[in-house]
Structure 1
Amino acid sequence: MKGIKIVIALLFINGIIGCHQPGKKEPLKDDTKPKIDSTVVFTLQSAALDKTVSLPGELLPNEKVQVYGKVSGYVKKIFVDIGSPVKQGQVIAILDAPEMQSKIAESKQRLASVKAKWISSTDVFKRLAEASKSDGVIAPTDLEKAKNQVASDAALVEAAQSELNAVQQTADYLTLRAPFTGIVTKRNVDAGAYVGKAAEMPLFEIEDNSSLRLRIAVPEAMTGTKVKDEKVQFTIKAIPGKKYEGKLSRKSGSLDVNTRSEVWEFVINNNDHSLKAGMFADCKINIQRDGKSFFVPFSAVVTTLEKKFVIKVQNNITSWVDVGQGVNATDKAEIFGKLDEGDTLVLKGNEELKADTKLLVKIAKH
């Protein structure tokens, strides 16, 4: 009985100790405020545009002409072929048109006839004028009539002479001559062929390749720039390892509505005739712009279907500023808009960052 009491006492004491044993600690509440992410910004700075751009170009002859037969006839003789060098005024072919000689003969006969009539009427007028010096011999109306006849016949002589000159000038078209010094690049006719028909191919093509025109289509964004020293350097795939140079000669002054580009033309000296018209060139142009420009990282420019803009931050409040884009540098874009040097812009802009949003900003490290 005494042992049972001892066991019960031990169990009672153990239960009391278990009730007073400290339990697990409850987690402490985190009273710290949620962390706000900062937006990276940068300070806008101006810089001069000085960039070398690569553009494709095409070499064209300085002068090019297609020679047609101005009158109908048969090719009597040809003096040149493709590759033949020619001088200005040199005869390259002769045409034959027998009916032209008949027209010349008719015109000469007509001129001789009216000239004889004019000589006769002039002689009559002189005799009447001499006789009219005696009173009552020649009526004044007869003298006036003879005078008018002389004037009429003189007009016919002038008309016949003009007709003969026109026929002879047309006959000169039977001799085809080179309009300038150059080289024959095409020949599409042989001796004996009939020429002068409508819509026929040109008989010859002649090009002046002593100097060439390098024509480059410059994108609209670059048309407001200038070329450093007005020079271009280019290479030709057909002539590897050799660099050529040309000088800016002219600009078209208008944009092609399809390509949104302006044609710039450079003059290339080609006295050694190593370059050929029709070759394509890989061109490098160093372009510059008067005054300063703003260049920003590509990520700062937000492009939508309606516009392009950057996000400006002033007093930690955002605003959208519309911009136009100019020439792209290696890692930056040239922009234009209502901006000033020293403005703060968001480095990585996006449409979700609306205007009038308050930000915690962080200056980007250069």
Structure 2
Amino acid sequence: MKAKISASKKMDNMLRLFLCSSCCILFLYACTGKDGSSSKTADAKQEKVDSVAIYIAKNDSVEKTITLPSELLPYERVEIRSKVQGYLKKINVDIGTRVRKGQLLALIDAPEITSRVSEFTEKIQSAKAKYMASKDNYDRIHSASETDGVIAASELDKVKNAFLADSADYKAAIYNAATYKQMGNYLAITSPFNGVVIKRNAHEGTFVGNPSELPLLVIEDNSRLRLQVAIPEVYAGTTLKKQSIKFTTKAMPEKVFEARLVRKSENIDNATRSEIWEFEVPNPEKLLKAGMYADAKLSLQRIKPGIILPSSAIVTTLEKKFAIKVRQGKTEWVDINQGLNLGDRIEVFGSIAAGDTLVLKANEELKPDVSIQVKTVKN
């Protein structure tokens, strides 16, 4: 009986020893697993911070090709109006008529102007006769006054004043007659340049000469055209690689035309925030029409090379744009201004110079003054 109780106690002790051993092993395994996991996470985090790809900034040419909408305009355009009131007596042209400089376009009938011209012509003759009589009288009195006591000084002054007044009347009559003769010249309307009539708003017998009326004719010179392109403000500081561009039109998309830069407005329009660049387009075959819309392809460049960074090296926040520079193994946030967007690269301005080391994939989480290890990536 005692032997059986002793064996039972021995079994209980062995079971307790086994359970205690198992608990210790499980505890040690759990601790080892937990510490190992923390260690791996810390190592991974440390590796993420320490291993940073970099980009070496350098000067490069800044070039970009853009396509902008544009408009073709006539080289010259004029609205023909009557400068005198009258009736349209004759009109020699219509829409589509090609005209030469100085060609007679229309005649205005204004009888009162003809009458006034005749009237002032007669007044010239009358004023001239009076002027010649006064001059003759003055010459005689002046000659006589050279002898002392013959002519009183007041009499000489009176004759001289009358002569000057008649002379002024004669000149005024000449000027008035010339004015009405010039108005008579306005009765014949001629073309100011070579071109084509694109509008006609009056017919024979129409009363013309009112300031508020439509022009009689509209003439355009389309032998060469102006191509106007509105250049956005961001590109206003660039120049063309060549002084010419190529463009296409919606009417003839299969044809590529060329235009030469001739002038810039040198002004940024407040409404569109753009500058007008004007190109000259030869049009000898008259294929292009004024008023057409075109797509102009411009190859732009900066005069001097600039700093261009990969877009991944630039961080944009609500407050600013910045890049992360690496100096002596520590990070530094550098504010930048963005220039031209070149696709996967961006032109930047700021405290970045050629040879500076920058973080290739920058982000806000990489704070300033953090020690890092870098790895070079081929630019």
The worse-fitting range, judged by mean Cα deviation, of 241-250 and 192-201 is 192-201
2:14 aligned partner, one-letter code: I
Distance 1:305 1:76 in 2: 71
Candidates 32, 36, 39, aligned match of 1:32: 39
2:266 partner SS: strand
Q: Which piece of structure 1 moves more, 15-24 or 289-298? A: 15-24
Match of 1:335 among 339, 345, 348: 348
Q: Are 1:99 and 2:151 counterparts?
A: no
Equivalent position amino acid for 2:11 in 1: N
Instruction: Provide structure 2 residue ranges, at least 5 long, that are not aligned to the other structure.
Output: none
Aligned to 2:22: 23
Q: Deviations over 1:321-353 (max 9, x none)?
A: 222222211311111112111212233434454
Change (3 A) 1:352 1:96: farther
Partner-residue secondary structure (3-state), 2:84: coil
Secondary structure at the aligned position of 1:253 is classed as: coil
Q: Distance in 1 between matches of 2:266 and 2:235?
A: 13
SS in 2 for 1:277: coil
RMSD between superposed Cα atoms in Å: 2.5
Moved more, 290-299 or 140-149: 140-149
* Aligned residue in 1 for 2:286: 273
- The one of 275, 286, 297 equivalent to 2:310 is 297
Letter in 2 for 1:104: V
Name the structure 2 match of 1:115. Answer: 128
The partner residue of 2:333 within 314, 320, 327 is 320
From 359, 364, 367, give the equivalent of 1:346.
Answer: 359
CA deviation map 1:201-239 (0-9, x unaligned): 111111111111111111222222221221101111110
Q: CA offsets per residue over residues 184-216 of structure 1, 9 Å max, x none?
A: 111111111111113221111111111111111
**1:170 Cα offset (Å):** 1.3
Q: What's the CA shift string for 1:55-93, capped at 9, x where partnerless?
A: 111111111111111111111111111111111111111
Q: Distance in 2 between matches of 1:64 and 1:98?
A: 31
Aligned counterpart, 1:179: 192
How far off its partner does 1:360 sit? 4.6
Determine which of 216, 228, 250 is the counterpart of 2:263.
Answer: 250
Write the distance in 1 (CA, Å) between the matches of 2:64 and 2:266.
Answer: 22
Alignment of 1:241 with 2:254, yes or no, is yes
User: 1:305 offset after TM fit, Å?
Assistant: 4.3
Structure 1 residue 15, shift from structure 2 partner: 3.0
What's the offset of the Cα at 1:135? 7.1
- Give the AA of the match of 1:19: R
1:119-268 aligned within 5 A: 119-128=132-141, 138-139=151-152, 141-268=154-281
Question: What percentage of aligned pairs have identical amino acids?
Answer: 43
In structure 2, relative to structure 1, the CA distance for the partners of 1:72 and 1:352 (3 Å cut) is farther
Letter in 2 for 1:170: M
Task: Provide the C-alpha distance between the structure 1 equivalents of 2:234 and 2:164, rounded to a whole number of angstroms.
Answer: 70
Shift of 1:154: 1.8
* Cα distance in structure 2, aligned partners of 1:95 and 1:213: 33
* Partner amino acid, structure 2, of 1:293: G
Aligned equivalents of 1:16, 1:307: Cα separation in 2? 73
* Secondary structure at 2:83 match in 1: coil
| Partner secondary structure for residue 12 of structure 2 | helix
1:42/1:186 CA distance change after superposition, 3 Å? same
Residue in structure 2 matching 1:64, options 57, 77, 95:
77
Q: Partners of 2:13 and 2:366 in 1: how far apart?
A: 64
Q: Deviations over 1:261-302 (max 9, x none)?
A: 111111111111100111111111111222211111223333
Secondary structure, aligned partner of 2:265 = strand
The one-letter amino acid of 2:345's match is: K
Offset at residue 126 of structure 1 (A)? 4.3
Structure 1 unaligned segments of length 5 or more: list them.
Answer: none
Q: CA deviation at 1:10?
A: 4.9
Residue in structure 1 matched with residue 68 of structure 2 by the alignment: 55
Structure 2 residue matching 1:229: 3-state secondary structure: coil
3-state DSSP of counterpart to 1:342? coil
Deviation of 1:140 after TM superposition, in Å, equals 5.3
After superposing the two structures, state which structure 1 stretch, 305-314 or 155-164, moved more: 305-314
Task: Provide the rounded CA distance (Å) in 1 between the counterparts of 2:333 and 2:82.
Answer: 67
Q: Which amino acid aligns with 1:15?
A: D
1:364, CA displacement in angstroms?
A: 4.1
**Does residue 92 of structure 2 align to residue 84 of structure 1?**
no
Aligned residues: 363
Q: Which one-letter code corresponds to 1:288 in the other structure?
A: Q
Higher helix share: 2
Q: Secondary structure at the match of 1:99?
A: helix
TM-score, normalising length: structure 1: 0.90
The aligned amino acid for 2:115 is S
Residues of 1 paired with 2:153 and 2:89: CA distance? Answer: 60
